[in-house]
Structures are given as C-alpha cells and as structure tokens.
C-alpha cells in the first residue's frame, strides 16, 4: 500500500500547512544562526568550537583522500623528471646564473641596510620561526575559500598566524585544534589584508571576493599603482609581518585593480606557517587605555622644576671637605 492510500489521504491542507510551517521555522533558525555567527570572534565563540571540532575530524579524512593525489603527483614528477632531466638542467643552470647576480646585490644591500638600521637605531621585526604543514582539504567556492592543514596547536600554531607557500602569502589561520588548523585564504570573501605597493610605498587593502584574483581597494595616493607592480604585506595592524610577497597588480575588464597572487602559480600542497606574534598581542591594552595624568598648573610646574633641580644638584661639600685638613708641618 502506498502512503497516499493511508488513513490521512484526505488530510491535505494541514499537511501543507505543517510542511510550510516547518520550512518557515527552519528558515528562521538559519537566520538566527547567521546573525549570531560573528566570524571575527573566531577564537572565542561557540561556533568556532564547532568548526574546530569538524576540522579535527576532517584532517584524518582529508589525509586519506589527499594521499592518492600526492602519490600520483610524486609518480608524475618522477616520470617527468626522468624524461625532462636535460632540459630542466639547462633551465636551472640559467636560473642559477641569474640568481647569483641577485644574490650579490642582495648581500651588498643587506650590508648597507644593516648599517642604516644601526645608525638610525631602527626597531626592526625579529625573524619569525615557522613550521611546515600539508594542505589536506580545500574549499574553493565563491562563498568561501579555506584549507585544512595537518599542523595545529601541538606545534605552536595559533589563530592569526600567516601562511605562505614557496611563492607568497596564502592566508592566515582562523581555527586551530591540536593536530590540524584551518586557513582563511586571501581569496575568501571575508579576507582583508593590508598591503603596500613596493614601488611607491602606497597602502591598499586586499579584499577577497571568492574569485582567483582578489580586489585592491582603498588605494591611497595619486596614481600609486601601475600594471605589474609588486605588492607586499604592509604590516599595518600587526596581523602580518611587513614585506611578505603577495602578488602583482593587474587591471580587470572593468578597469578595477586586482592582484594576481604569487601563491596561485603552483598548486598549494606544502605550506609554511609563520609563528608570528600579532603586534596587538604584545601590548597591554589596559596600559594603553589608562587615563592620562592631567597637566600641571604653572605653580605646580615651578615647584616640580625646583624639586628636580634640588634633586639633581651636586651635593654640598661638607665643611671638612671644604677646608682640607692641613698637612702636618714637616718636622725638620
């Protein structure tokens, strides 16, 4: 007997209403969740815990799924390496010759730069340690771009750490569990990265929109960007260290500036997570927001100056010290 022949076959309207009501309730529940889920509070919210829990479960599954891909890639690389060894050798030799001149220039510039830094007493960022990780799962849709990595809090990874491929910045960590972490890619719609144009030092905001080439917004200065300009992280806001390579500026069909990411040059498989401490984490917000001492009145300032003068004045010589003891008369 089919279900439509049951005792409720004539009960049509209430069923319709029930289904519509259930759909409306479910839509409302989805809306409430959507409003309540603030992803900027990623490290503390209950939603973040749920996401981290899923990342914990996904990491082993991703490793299983990714293993055949990696093995296949290794086999293709091995076969390609065998057949193209000679041409690859020529190419690499030419590249080494090119890079050697760059190396000499870099050594000279580093030397000069260190002298300038020492002379100007510049406080530069210390080099950040890093850990290697493998990308095991990948979300590429227009409404979200993220990856799951197989390294987590157990090796010191924290929320906010920048992630780089061998070519450039990939994104930053937004969720961590002991043995896995989730990266928000530069291309994600919620990703905002402060960058600078290497040639002009102009600042801009790299804004992901789910496409392969994120937008360049809030560009400051007059004509600060040209086609092919190199973009680096600016370090503004302390989320990323300054100077990490991001990509190259390019105009889209509508004339808006976009960025061809360096990290998009090759598949992102192995990455480097920089254990970079966010600038905001090194300062004490309470100390910064402490109320300032009100300025002194003129009389108070005069008293204070007098007290300071007294405190810094050389001690008065004692009378004994003033009149040094006469040396005993020499006896003949």
Partner 1 sequence: MIRKRPTPVQRPGWIIWPMLASLAGTLLLMTPLRIAGLSLPEPVFPMVLAFAWAVIRPSVVGPLALLATGLLLDLLWGAPLGLWGLALLMAYGGAVVSRGLVTGRGTLMLSVWYLVLTVIAFTSAYITTMLRARVAPDLPSVLWQFLATLALFPLAQRLIAFFEDAEIRSW
Using rule CB under 8 A, residue 51 touches partner 1 = yes
Using rule CB under 8 A, residue 136 touches partner 1 = yes
Using rule CB under 8 A, residue 245 touches partner 1 = no
* Residue 246 · residue 206 · CB < 8 Å: yes
Using rule CB under 8 A, residue 39 touches partner 1 = yes
Torsion of CA 193, 194, 198, 202, to 10 degrees: 140
Using rule CB under 8 A, residue 50 touches partner 1 = yes
Using rule CB under 8 A, residue 4 touches partner 1 = yes
Q: Which one of residues 178, 210, 235, 245 is an interface residue with partner 1 (CB under 8 A)? A: 210
* Smallest gap from residue 297 Cβ to partner 1 (A): 49
Distance CA 238, CA 194 (A): 10
* Smallest gap from residue 150 Cβ to partner 1 (A): 12
Q: Which one of residues 159, 169, 249, 268 is an interface residue with partner 1 (CB under 8 A)? A: 268
> Taking CB under 8 A as the rule, which mask of x and - marks residues 187-206 in contact with partner 1?
--xx----------------
Using rule CB under 8 A, residue 47 touches partner 1 = yes
Q: Which of 226, 219, 265, 221 is nearest to 245 (CA)?
A: 265
* Smallest gap from residue 252 Cβ to partner 1 (A): 10
Residues in the chain: 332
* Residue 236 · residue 193 · CB < 8 Å: no
Q: Which one of residues 152, 160, 171, 208 is an interface residue with partner 1 (CB under 8 A)? A: 208
CB nearer to partner 1: give 24 or 109: 24
Using rule CB under 8 A, residue 184 touches partner 1 = yes
* Smallest gap from residue 300 Cβ to partner 1 (A): 50
Q: Which stretch binds partner 1 (CB under 8 A): 58-66, 281-289, 291-299, 313-321?
A: 58-66
Using rule CB under 8 A, residue 65 touches partner 1 = yes
**Binders of partner 1 among 247-266, rule CB under 8 A?**
none
* Residue 169 · residue 264 · CB < 8 Å: no
* Smallest gap from residue 76 Cβ to partner 1 (A): 10
- The CA distances from residue 230 to 111, 251, 262, 279, in Å, are 23, 13, 10, 24
Residue 184, class by beta-carbon neighbours within 10 Å (0-12 exposed, 13-18 middle, 19+ buried)?
A: buried
* Smallest gap from residue 175 Cβ to partner 1 (A): 8
* Smallest gap from residue 162 Cβ to partner 1 (A): 18
Q: Which one of residues 133, 146, 164, 274 is an interface residue with partner 1 (CB under 8 A)? A: 146
* Smallest gap from residue 59 Cβ to partner 1 (A): 12
**Binders of partner 1 among 105-124, rule CB under 8 A?**
none
Using rule CB under 8 A, residue 31 touches partner 1 = yes
Distance CA 91, CA 94 (A): 5
Instruction: Point out which residues bind partner 1 (CB under 8 A).
Output: 1-4, 12, 15-16, 18-20, 22-27, 29-34, 36-37, 39, 47, 50-51, 54, 58, 61-62, 65-66, 69, 135-144, 146-147, 174-175, 182, 184, 189-190, 207-212, 215, 267-269
């Amino acid at each position: 007997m089919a279900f439509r022949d049951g005792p409720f076959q004539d009960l049509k309207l209430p069923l319709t209403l029930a289904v519509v009501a259930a759909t409306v309730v479910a839509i409302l529940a989805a809306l409430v969740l959507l409003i309540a889920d603030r992803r900027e509070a990623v490290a503390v919210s209950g939603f973040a815990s749920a996401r981290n829990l899923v990342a914990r479960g996904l990491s082993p599954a991703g490793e299983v799924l990714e293993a055949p891909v990696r093995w296949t890639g290794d086999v293709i690389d091995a076969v390609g390496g065998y057949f193209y060894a000679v041409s690859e050798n020529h190419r690499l030799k030419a590249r080494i010759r090119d890079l050697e001149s760059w190396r000499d220039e870099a050594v000279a510039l580093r030397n000069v730069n260190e002298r300038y830094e020492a002379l100007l007493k510049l406080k530069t960022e210390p080099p950040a340690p890093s850990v290697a990780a493998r990308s095991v799962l990948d979300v590429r849709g227009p409404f979200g771009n993220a990856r799951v990595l197989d390294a987590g809090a157990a090796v010191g990874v924290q929320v906010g750490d920048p992630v780089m491929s061998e070519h450039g910045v990939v994104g930053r960590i937004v969720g961590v569990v002991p043995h896995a972490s989730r990266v928000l890619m530069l291309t994600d719609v919620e990703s905002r990265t402060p960058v600078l144009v290497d040639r002009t030092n102009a600042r801009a905001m790299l804004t992901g929109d789910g496409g392969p080439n994120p937008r360049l917004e809030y560009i400051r200065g007059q004509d600060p960007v040209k086609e092919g300009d190199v973009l680096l992280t600016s370090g503004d806001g302390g989320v990323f260290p300054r100077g990490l390579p991001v990509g190259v500026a390019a105009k889209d069909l509508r004339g808006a500036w976009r960025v061809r990411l360096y990290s998009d040059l090759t598949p992102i498989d192995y990455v480097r997570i920089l254990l970079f401490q966010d600038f905001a984490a090194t300062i004490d917000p309470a100390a910064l927001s402490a109320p300032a001492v009100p300025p002194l009145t003129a009389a108070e300032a005069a008293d204070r100056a007098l007290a300071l003068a007294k405190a810094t004045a050389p001690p008065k010589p004692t009378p004994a010290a003033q009149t040094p003891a006469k040396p005993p008369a020499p006896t003949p």
